[in-house]
């Protein structure tokens, strides 16, 4: 690689109101600087596109600082080390990290960088952005630590065909739970039941959820893993059991609101049922990721555990690909392939 | 007592829409029947008037079955045994139980009746409907078991001058917490700070809560004990700390809604802060009431713990007295005195 090779980046040009549009982005090209001592250069191969990215584009305090105007858009990614002046990595190593929406990441590869080696022999590269990446860790620790499901209990998960949801349901199944998904459309529901092995899946586009929840959760709902918020959260709240646990992982239905967020009108069901609603942020479990990766990789090896990625190709497609998340157009974990391995 | 003495009862005549009105009640007079073997007759002295009563008047599943149309309105009360054919009680015993809105309660006084002896030497009779009764038990177990406050943490409680709130705050103070109340009006706020020893009290009638919460909770909110719901819950949600606990005890602001309950629009603060919102129903702790009574009575004896009852006199005043709860007109635990001890 020569020092005059070019990097390309999507930077945040303006904060969106509602859905992000083209004017929110600036596509920038700049020459790659020579590496400094301790740095590595990563050629990014796959970018992770996640609902949480919408939140990072907003101003204001959250669980992580907002992306600044003019800054490269934050994104998880996997890539390959193409040049290294760090003893921790060698050219050819596959790595994951918060490399951002750019073709090359250059930085100090110390421990606090969060850059870690990944083993493509365990699972294909896109799976490291899915079941063995953030969504998988979110599902694993959110379900186990906050949801605390017990064998025989009923676990419901929304966005069940999505990156987090598909792993939540499969982990719950491994634990001996009855697992009911909620997803949009017959194709996704079929996938959730036939491929992922959920006991049932309710199509929220088919009409009100009440009858489906009643039919498929005859013993009520013990754990609800919520990725969507809004009316779906409200519907499940009417079916929870005594001492139920609701894991608040996200609220994709509310992220692009230009009106105030719709709070769960049925939250007093928590009182009636002595139930709990609790938030989870995956970063809290970073020290335990190796444990999560090991257990999920073990299930993958055993062959009954599935993952599915929806791969869109082309760096320049980033802005429109991101929107697929909010339109429910992706089927499986959405990743953007930007270079050949 | 002769068998021809008369009982008076308020029965539920129709389910209210919004605030209960006169037409929701039927005042009935009937002769007292002779006692059967195992029964006792209690002359009711003080009735407990509680926000939860509004919920019991609604149809539909809740944590306790609704009061049926034509049934005596459910109410906690204290009274004195005037006649007994049970070995468990003797005439002259003071007792508490769910005697209902009537002058005399007659029933089997077995263990599952919930009728228990009380000791007027520990505290005056009305206090047995307050700090040593359901509100006190709700405060004690809700705060300790669900709120789990630690010394040095900040505890906020709404309806701070109310029956539950005043005990919540004083228990938190005993545990070494910073305690901030929310109440309506300068008189109540003065009482909460000067009499109950809270560190501060915010008057929600004075304007938006945000500035007061910021001023009086400089280190954020670790535990919020919510008796009111609505906008106050939403305001506190913006100030909670990481791993905060929100105890959902009630939502008096929403009980008489004729429109849908307003869900907490800021509930995603639970996610950002990995916080928890959990309901509490006091009946779950019934086996542990003696523990709660003993500890609260100990604090009362030590002299730094206060209770305050707002006593309205006259059985026939029941319908209008109940409304005082929803208009914020009571100052202290609202009880209805219906007979002399």
CATH number where A56 lies: 3.90.180.10
Give the β-pairing of A25-31 and A276-279: unpaired
**Of B308, B335, B304, residue with least CA distance to B160:** B308
Whether B300 is covered by a domain: the verdict is no
How many residues comprise chain B? 341
B229 in contact with A, Cβ within 8 Å: yes
Higher pLDDT, A337 or B331: A337
Q: Which residues pair with B6 in a beta bridge?
A: B31
Residues of chain A contacting residue B272, judged by C-beta atoms under 8 Å apart = 61-63, 279, 281
C-beta of residue A246 within 8 angstroms of C-beta of residue A224? yes
The residue in chain B having the minimum alpha-carbon distance to the alpha carbon of residue A272 is B63
CB contact under 8 A, A279 and B263: no
CB contact under 8 A, B263 and A260: no
Distance CA A9, CA B282 (A): 57
| Mean pLDDT to the nearest integer, B179-207 | 96
CB contact under 8 A, B266 and A268: no
Number of domains chain A contains: 2
CB contact under 8 A, A267 and B271: no
Whether A278 is covered by a domain: the verdict is yes
Q: Do B271 and B147 lie in a common domain?
A: yes
Residue with tokens 């489906």: A212
Q: b/e map of B299-319 (b: 16 or more CB within 10 Å)?
A: bbeeeebbbbbbebeebeebb
Measure CB to CB from residue A284 to each of B251, B266, B274 and give the nearest one: B274
DSSP characters over B285-297: GGGGHHHHHHHHH
Q: How far is A110 from chain B (nearest CA, A)?
A: 27
pLDDT of residue A4: 59
| Mean pLDDT to the nearest integer, B158-172 | 96
User: Could you tell me what percentage of chain A is helix, strand and coil, using 3-state DSSP and rounding each to the nearest 5?
Assistant: 30, 25, 40
CB contact under 8 A, A254 and B268: yes
A147 in contact with B, Cβ within 8 Å: no
Q: Do A202 and A225 lie in a common domain?
A: yes
CB contact under 8 A, B248 and A268: yes
Whether A14 is covered by a domain: the verdict is yes
Contacts of B58 (CB under 8 A, 6+ apart): B15, B66
CB contact under 8 A, B268 and A249: no
Helix (H, G, I), strand (E, B) or coil at A326: helix
- The CA distances from residue A169 to A156, A174, B121, B179, B275, in Å, are 8, 9, 58, 42, 23
Q: What is the dihedral of CA A137, A141, A144, A146, to 10 degrees?
A: -140
How many residues comprise chain A? 341
Residues of chain A contacting residue B63, judged by C-beta atoms under 8 Å apart = 271-274
**CA atoms within 13 Å, Cβ hemisphere of B260:** 10
Contacts of A191 (CB under 8 A, 6+ apart): A161, A308, A331
Q: Do A270 and A317 lie in a common domain?
A: no
pLDDT of residue A3: 45
pLDDT of residue B341: 78
pLDDT of residue B249: 94
Q: Do A317 and A259 lie in a common domain?
A: no
Q: How far is A229 from chain B (nearest CA, A)?
A: 9
Q: Which residues pair with A107 in a beta bridge?
A: A40
Distance CA B286, CA A211 (A): 35
CB contact under 8 A, B265 and A267: no
- Per-residue pLDDT tens for B132-148? 999 999 999 999 999 99
C-beta of residue A160 within 8 angstroms of C-beta of residue A181? yes
- Per-residue pLDDT tens for B107-124? 998 888 889 999 999 999
Helix (H, G, I), strand (E, B) or coil at A258: coil
Q: Which residues pair with B150 in a beta bridge?
A: none
C-beta of residue A160 within 8 angstroms of C-beta of residue A192? yes
Distance CA A252, CA B334 (A): 44
Residues with pLDDT less than 50, chain A: 1-3
CATH number at residue B235: 3.40.50.720
**Of A178, A221, A290, residue with least CA distance to A169:** A178
CB contact under 8 A, B272 and A229: no
Q: Do B192 and B248 lie in a common domain?
A: yes
Q: How far is B302 from chain A (nearest CA, A)?
A: 33
Considering chain B, what is the average pLDDT of its residues?
94
ipTM of the complex: 0.86
A145 in contact with B, Cβ within 8 Å: no
Q: Do B101 and B159 lie in a common domain?
A: no
pLDDT of residue A216: 98
Q: b/e map of A25-50 (b: 16 or more CB within 10 Å)?
A: beeeeeebeebeeebbbbbbbbbbbb
Distance CA A135, CA A50 (A): 9
Give me the phi and psi of B29, to 5 degrees please.
-120, 135
| Mean pLDDT to the nearest integer, B168-172 | 98
A263 in contact with B, Cβ within 8 Å: yes
Whether A303 is covered by a domain: the verdict is no
Q: b/e map of B113-151 (b: 16 or more CB within 10 Å)?
A: bebbebeeebbebbbbbbbbbbbbbbbbbbbbebbebee
CB contact under 8 A, B261 and A271: no
Q: Do B277 and B326 lie in a common domain?
A: no
Residues of chain A contacting residue B262, judged by C-beta atoms under 8 Å apart = 263, 265
- Per-residue pLDDT tens for B56-90? 999 987 778 999 999 999 999 999 999 999 999 99
C-beta of residue B31 within 8 angstroms of C-beta of residue B14? no
Q: What is the DSSP letter of B123?
A: S
**Of A155, A152, A48, residue with least CA distance to A97:** A48
Q: Do A126 and A150 lie in a common domain?
A: no
Q: How far is A122 from chain B (nearest CA, A)?
A: 31
Whether A85 is covered by a domain: the verdict is yes
Q: Do A244 and A116 lie in a common domain?
A: no
Q: Do A150 and A102 lie in a common domain?
A: no
A280 in contact with B, Cβ within 8 Å: yes
Q: Do A73 and A152 lie in a common domain?
A: no
Distance CA B181, CA B244 (A): 17
**Of B307, B319, B309, B311, residue with least CA distance to B339:** B311
Q: Do B113 and B141 lie in a common domain?
A: no
Residues of chain B contacting residue A281, judged by C-beta atoms under 8 Å apart = 271-272, 274
Domain range enclosing A188: 134-283
Whether B202 is covered by a domain: the verdict is yes
CB contact under 8 A, B261 and A265: yes
Whether B294 is covered by a domain: the verdict is no
Q: How far is B144 from chain A (nearest CA, A)?
A: 15
B259 in contact with A, Cβ within 8 Å: no
Whether B321 is covered by a domain: the verdict is yes
Segment among B176-185, B251-260, B269-278 with least mean pLDDT: B251-260
Q: How far is A77 from chain B (nearest CA, A)?
A: 23
């Amino acid at each position: 690689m020569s020092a005059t090779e070019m990097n390309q980046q999507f930077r945040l040009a303006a904060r969106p109101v509602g859905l992000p549009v083209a004017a929110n982005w600036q596509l920038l090209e700049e020459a790659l600087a020579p590496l400094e001592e301790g740095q590595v250069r990563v050629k990014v191969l796959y970018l992770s596109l996640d609902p949480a990215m919408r939140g990072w584009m907003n101003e204001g305090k959250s669980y992580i600082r907002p992306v600044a105007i003019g800054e490269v858009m934050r994104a998880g990614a996997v890539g390959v080390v193409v040049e290294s002046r760090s003893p921790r990595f060698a050219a050819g190593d596959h790595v994951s990290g918060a490399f951002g929406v750019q073709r090359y990441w250059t930085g100090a590869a110390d421990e606090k960088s969060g850059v870690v080696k990944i083993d493509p022999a365990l699972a294909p590269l896109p799976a490291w952005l899915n079941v063995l990446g953030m969504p998988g860790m979110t599902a694993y620790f959110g379900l186990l630590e906050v949801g605390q499901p017990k064998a025989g209990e009923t676990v419901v998960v929304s966005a069940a065909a999505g990156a987090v949801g598909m792993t939540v349901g499969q982990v719950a199944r491994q634990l001996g739970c009855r697992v009911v998904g909620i997803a949009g459309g017959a194709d996704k529901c079929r996938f959730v039941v036939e491929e992922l092995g959920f006991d049932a899946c309710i199509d929220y586009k088919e009409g009100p959820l009440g009858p489906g929840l009643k039919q498929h959760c005859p013993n009520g709902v013990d754990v609800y893993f919520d990725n969507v918020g809004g009316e779906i959260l409200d519907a499940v709240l009417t079916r929870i059991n005594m001492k139920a646990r609701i894991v608040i992982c996200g609220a994709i239905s509310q992220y692009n609101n230009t009106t105030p967020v719709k709070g769960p009108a049925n939250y007093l069901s928590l009182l009636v049922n002595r139930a709990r609603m609790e938030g989870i942020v995956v970063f809290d479990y970073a020290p335990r990721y190796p444990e999560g990766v090991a257990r999920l990789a073990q299930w993958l090896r055993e062959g009954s555990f599935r993952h599915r990625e929806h791969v869109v190709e082309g760096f320049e497609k980033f802005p429109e690909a991101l929107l697929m998340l909010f339109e429910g157009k992706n089927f499986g974990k959405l990743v953007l392939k930007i270079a050949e391995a």
